[in-house]
């Protein structure tokens, strides 16, 4: 038995070492459906590192981060709202990291501790079989032909809808509020999150979505739905989907490798396949890219800081609690 003890001790030590090395990278992400699974599978094949995923809308992702603030679980966060990256960075939660693969990402869509995975634009998603005239701009949805036939995602539930609301307010001022008043008078419904706004249009019960997330509608169009994605002539918001590493991560090197992978040729090809705009401008897209879409001016810090009061005003206008 004396000779077995060193052997047993060595085996126990080996087991502990193996257990210490066998970890998974934890990624919290907001859509699109299926993308994170593909990225996680590809990353594991390339690096041997498994990826555990929590996927939900941006609000639920951010709420989970807040709930776990005293005992953080996530290593990497991917959000559908640029504001979430700015907020977490201001609070000192993020690890500064500049990926070598981010050189072709536009400066507006990266910072010292965050970088876009991809971008989407807010659009009009129009059912071409609805019997309504094809809209070319936001104001067209206030016409009598669209009476009670327009949905908008609720800015209280959709980060991208809030970005559009804020972008229009910043660009148009009082004219934006006249637009919202006219839309309300024409019976526009505030229809929950993005999917809840889109589904009635796909089904033919409504004619259009004001502020549709474009990649979702483009995917539906590719699958044969009678949906057209229209980027308004007067301009829209191009929303970055930021990736960031939490400073609290116990696996920072693997987290950096994951960011690098998503920004690699292979990772960006996966992003492009979902009809998002790839973050890297040298990667081919399956849809219109930034230079082909009239973008509203980027907001400054003061404009972003006023979003909660903006949301309260919008909610009061449409009778939302």
Classify residue 254: in a domain, yes or no.
Answer: yes
- What pLDDT score was predicted for residue 32? 83
Same domain membership, residue 249 and residue 216:
no
- What pLDDT score was predicted for residue 308? 84
Same domain membership, residue 138 and residue 61:
no
Containing structural domain, residue 140: 120-237+296-317
Classify residue 35: in a domain, yes or no.
Answer: yes
Residue range 173-184: average pLDDT? Answer: 96
Residue with tokens 């257990």: 19
Q: Which has the closest alpha carbon to 256: 50, 16, 23, 25?
A: 25
Same domain membership, residue 227 and residue 143:
yes
Q: Calculate the average pLDDT of the chain.
A: 90
Same domain membership, residue 243 and residue 232:
no
- For residue 259, give Cα distances in angstroms to 43, 78, 101: 10, 10, 9
* Res. 15: pLDDT tops 90: no
Q: List, as residue ranges, the binding site for Fe cation.
A: 215
% of residues, the chain, pLDDT over 70:
92
Same domain membership, residue 159 and residue 210:
yes
Classify residue 4: in a domain, yes or no.
Answer: no
pLDDT, one tens digit per residue, over 141-163 is 999 999 999 999 998 888 889 88
Q: Which has the closest alpha carbon to 166: 14, 2, 305?
A: 305
Classify residue 2: in a domain, yes or no.
Answer: no
- What pLDDT score was predicted for residue 157? 83
Same domain membership, residue 131 and residue 271:
no
Q: List, as residue ranges, the binding site.
A: 215
Classify residue 62: in a domain, yes or no.
Answer: yes
* Res. 2: pLDDT tops 90: no
User: When comparing pLDDT for 1 and 256, which is higher?
Assistant: 256
When mean pLDDT is compared across 1-15, 44-58, 135-149, the lowest value belongs to 1-15
Helix ranges (H only) for the chain are 4-21, 35-47, 58-67, 82-90, 159-172, 174-185, 194-203, 214-222, 252-262, 265-273, 301-305, 307-317
Same domain membership, residue 125 and residue 21:
no
- For residue 117, give Cα distances in angstroms to 109, 248, 256, 274, 309: 9, 21, 13, 12, 29
Same domain membership, residue 311 and residue 194:
yes
- What pLDDT score was predicted for residue 81? 86
Q: How many domains does the chain have?
A: 2
Same domain membership, residue 183 and residue 67:
no
pLDDT, one tens digit per residue, over 221-238 is 999 999 999 999 999 999
User: When comparing pLDDT for 17 and 251, which is higher?
Assistant: 251
% of residues, the chain, pLDDT over 90:
78
Rounded to an integer, what distance in angstroms lies between the CA atom of residue 40 and that of residue 30? Answer: 14
Same domain membership, residue 163 and residue 71:
no
Same domain membership, residue 262 and residue 131:
no
- What pLDDT score was predicted for residue 22? 58
pLDDT, one tens digit per residue, over 244-303 is 999 999 999 999 999 999 999 999 999 999 999 999 999 999 999 999 999 998 777 777
CATH code of 193's domain: 3.40.190.10
Classify residue 243: in a domain, yes or no.
Answer: yes
* Res. 1: pLDDT tops 50: no
- What pLDDT score was predicted for residue 321? 63
- What pLDDT score was predicted for residue 8? 44
């Amino acid at each position: 038995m004396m000779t077995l003890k060193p052997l047993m001790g060595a085996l126990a030590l080996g087991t502990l070492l193996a257990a210490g090395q066998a970890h998974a990278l934890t990624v919290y992400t907001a859509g699109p459906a299926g993308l994170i699974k593909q990225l996680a599978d590809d990353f594991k094949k390339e690096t041997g590192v498994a990826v555990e995923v929590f996927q939900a809308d941006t609000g639920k992702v951010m709420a989970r981060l807040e709930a776990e603030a005293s005992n953080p679980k996530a290593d990497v966060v991917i959000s559908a709202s640029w504001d979430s990256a700015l907020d977490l960075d201001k609070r000192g939660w993020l690890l500064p990291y500049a990926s070598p693969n981010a050189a072709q990402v536009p400066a507006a869509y990266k910072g010292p501790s965050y970088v876009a995975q991809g971008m989407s634009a807010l659009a009009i998603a129009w059912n071409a079989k609805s019997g309504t005239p094809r809209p070319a701009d936001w104001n067209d949805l206030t016409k009598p032909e669209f009476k009670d036939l327009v949905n908008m995602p609720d800015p209280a539930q959709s980060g991208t809808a809030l970005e559009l609301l804020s972008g229009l307010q910043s660009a148009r001022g009082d004219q934006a509020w006249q637009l919202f008043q006219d839309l309300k008078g024409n019976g526009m419904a505030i229809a929950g999150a993005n999917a809840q706004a889109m589904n009635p249009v796909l089904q033919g019960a409504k004619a259009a979505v004001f502020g549709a997330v474009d990649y979702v509608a483009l995917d539906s169009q590719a699958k044969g739905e009678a949906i057209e994605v229209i980027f308004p002539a007067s301009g829209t918001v191009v929303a970055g989907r930021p990736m960031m590493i939490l400073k609290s991560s116990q696996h920072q090197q693997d987290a950096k490798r994951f960011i690098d992978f998503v920004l690699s040729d292979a990772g960006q090809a996966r992003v492009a396949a979902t009809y998002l705009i790839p973050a890297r401008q040298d990667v081919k897209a399956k849809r219109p890219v930034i230079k082909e879409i009239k973008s509203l001016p980027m907001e400054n810090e003061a404009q972003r800081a006023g979003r909660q009061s903006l949301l309260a005003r919008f909610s009061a206008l449409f009778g939302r609690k």
